[in-house]
Amino acid sequence: MEQSGAKPSDTLLTHCHREFFHAQWNILLDDDFLEAYEHGIVITCQDQVKHRIYPRIFTYSADYPERYVVMLLFNAIS
């Protein structure tokens, strides 16, 4: 079968990107993680004290102008 060399449309690429993103979250947010997220995980630390740990996922989401401002502030502080 010959390939025509045609590129996929932007709409198709956007759809595939969105589907891929949602598939990743479905893997990350399985039933075990959601249970731990809501009720925590009891862990015995080295000092033999039990602690309940609540896992969290932190994301950084900003538009390009906001990223630029954060970069400028970070460079000004450094």
- Residue whose entry in the numeric block shows the structure tokens 């990743």: 24
Q: pLDDT value at position 9?
A: 92
Instruction: Let me know: does 42 contact 51? Beta carbons within 8 Å.
Output: yes
Q: How does pLDDT run across 4-35, given as a tens digit for each residue?
A: 778 889 999 999 999 999 999 899 889 999 99
**Band of the pLDDT at 75, cuts 50, 70, 90?**
low
CA distance 29 to 56: 11
pTM here is 0.52
Q: How does pLDDT run across 45-59, given as a tens digit for each residue?
A: 999 999 999 998 877
Q: What is the largest CA-CA distance in the chain?
A: 66
Dihedral sign for Cα atoms in the order 54, 56, 28, 22: positive
Q: pLDDT value at position 57?
A: 83
